[in-house]
Amino acid sequence: MSLSPVKYMILETMLFIDKPAKAMRIAKEVSKEFPSVMMHIIGLTRLGYITSPEKSLYALTERAKSVLGIPEINEEKAKKALAEMRQDHSFHFYESIGKPLGLRAHSLQDFSDKILKVNLDSIEFHESRGDFEAWFAGLGDVELSKKAALLKEKKMKGEELRSKLHEIVEKRCGVLTRMAERSFLAKSAISGA
């Protein structure tokens, strides 16, 4: 089934918010009137794209992520996304074309830490070119890549951009770590039984 552009935009916005949200916040983020957004949310809920984990809060389902082109991630993919990269696969920070900073991120967590230290010109340079989303996709994390693309669409600048980028990467590291640990704990329980 094909979704209308507004419904698709609502799902993308909810992906970007990345936590259960009230319909009013979703309407504000998509710059649409609340009654219209609420009707779309109701329709998306009936179609199984949105769930309501608590009264008045709405969250995406795995089905919605699939429609957005985001595959489910398993423990193997989570471990790969978190792994330390070889130098040639590390993220190399530049201030502009031909002006490397000599700073590299060797893993997703390392990237999260370094994004707090790198100068804002570098962050804005890479964001404008889509470098972050490309690197995240190269790590095998389509969801994080999509969030970086949505961040680019927001046209944030300066400290607001740094803060939001750090927030989405740090939160994603937490999710991936829990997935990888869950796999480890499950295997330990089986072998210890």
Average pLDDT over residues 109-115: 96
Q: What is the pLDDT of residue 51?
A: 97
Reported confidence tier of residue 89, pLDDT bands at 50, 70, 90: very high
Contact (Cβ atoms closer than 8 angstroms) between residue 101 and residue 118 = yes
Reported confidence tier of residue 87, pLDDT bands at 50, 70, 90: confident
> In the chain, where does the domain assigned CATH 1.10.10.10 lie?
5-67
Reported confidence tier of residue 187, pLDDT bands at 50, 70, 90: low
Reported confidence tier of residue 183, pLDDT bands at 50, 70, 90: low
Instruction: Give the phi and the psi of residue 62 in degrees, each rounded to 5.
Output: -60, -30
5-67, CATH topology level: Arc Repressor Mutant, subunit A (1.10.10)
pTM: 0.85
Encoded tokens for 75: 């423990």
- Lookup result for tokens 């957005």: 68
- Lookup result for tokens 């209308």: 4
Q: What is the pLDDT of residue 2?
A: 82
Half-sphere exposure of 58 (CA within 13 A, CB side): 25
